[in-house]
Each structure stands twice: as structure tokens, then as C-alpha cells.
Chains A and B, each alone.
Chain A
């Protein structure tokens, strides 16, 4: 490649096994790239896990058609980034309002954690959902 950019793209059904596949692919991508710090790798993987889990668990709520997710992961000299696109029925996501719940809460942390672990997190509804995740390399 020689341009300092590594990419991987995965397409799968919105199920928890897809989240594991994305995390496996990200691990391989980070290992192959040069000099990613432990903290960047950990926090970016955390955000990817939270958003991918959110996508597959919420797309199941519709109950009818199978939902397909495309995950694009990119590592370059400046940042780690991911883009998730699905074809689930559009749902509004209150991203700005996401914050950590009470410390003894058993759920409801995902989006808040993803925001904390990233420099940029955006969500748009467009025939499904598009999530963009960016963590600048420290």
C-alpha cells in the first residue's frame, strides 16, 4: 500500500456474531498498522463495540426483515475511523443527550462511552442509518 492507510470492509447480518467479526477485523487491522498506541486501540475498539452492538440489538426490535450492516474500518497516520451503514427502519437517536447513567446502572452506557472514547461521533438517517466514528491518534 505504502500510503499509510489500511482499510477493511465487512458486510453481515445484524447479529451479535457480526460485532465479534468486526472486532476481530479491527484487531488485525491495528496489529498490521504501525505504532498505534494501546490507548488509541482500546478506546477506538470500545467505541466500535458500543456502536456495532447498538446497531444489531436495536435493528432486531423491528422483528420482520433481516437487517444488513456494512462496516468500513480505516487506520491512517492521523486517525482511526469507522463507518457503519445499515438498512434498518429509520429511528431517531438522541446522541447529544447520551450521558453516563448512575454508576450502579446495569445498562444505558453504550452511546455515552462511545462519545467519550472518540473525537467525533455522528449519526444520520438516510434509508437506514449511517454512523461515523473518528478517534484522532494521540
Chain B
């Protein structure tokens, strides 16, 4: 898995590319923690290039969501593929990890 991080004025974007599983999940957690520590707790995880996710990847997203909210920010998903969305639905995590059609739409409400 490759991970790209970009920061903008109102939010930051994290892009995991490839499979988000146990081998890559710790790096995602670290990247999210670093953003929060640096004062960017409004985070979009852009899943457009994420082919697959399992419980390790989901755990990293949940951990990031809790940490972001604790820092008065939020973590939102964008552009998830149908297969990633089907895994979110299977695990009922689509209720807490909401997917948005685009990165721009994720924090479109302000």
C-alpha cells in the first residue's frame, strides 16, 4: 500500500493506494495521528485508489475517526469503490464511516 497525504487550509486528504490491510494499516494510523498532532483534525480519507479493505484497515479508520473527533475534527471517507462499500455494509460500519462521492463533498457542509 502507498499512502499520499496532502494538507489544505480547511482539511487534509489521506490517499491509501492498493490494499488497506494489516501490512499497511499502522502507516495509515500514524499518518492520521501526525495530521492531528500538527493541527489538522479535519481529515478526508480518499478511497478512490483503495482496492480492498479488511478488519485491520477498518480498525485504523475507526481509530482515526475517534482521534479526530477528540481533537474537535472529523474523519470522513470519499470515493469508495463498490467493493469497499460492500465491506463497509457487511460490517455495518457504513453508519459510522460515511462515504461521500468526492473529496470536495466530504467537508462540503463547511
Name A's B-contacting residues (CB within 8 A).
16-17, 19-20, 23, 38-39, 41-43, 45-46, 49-50, 53, 57, 100, 103-107, 109-110, 113, 116-117
Contact = CB atoms under 8 A, between A and B. Distances in A.
Given A19-B22, A42-B83, A117-B90, A50 B55 contact: yes
B91 A109 contact: yes
Given A42-B83, A53-B54, A105 B23 contact: no
B92 interface: yes
Interface string B40-59: 00000000000010111011
A103 B52 contact: no
B109 interface: no
Contacts of B60: 106
Contacts of B92: 100, 103
Given A43-B86, A100-B91, A103-B92, A109 B58 contact: yes
B23 A19 contact: yes
B82 A38 contact: yes
**In this complex, which of A19, A42, A45, A117 has the most chain B Cβ atoms within 10 angstroms of its Cβ?**
A42
B39 interface: no
Given A105-B62, A109-B55, A117-B90, A17 B95 contact: no
Given A42-B83, A45-B52, A46-B54, A16 B90 contact: no
A104 B62 contact: yes
A90 to B, nearest CB: 23
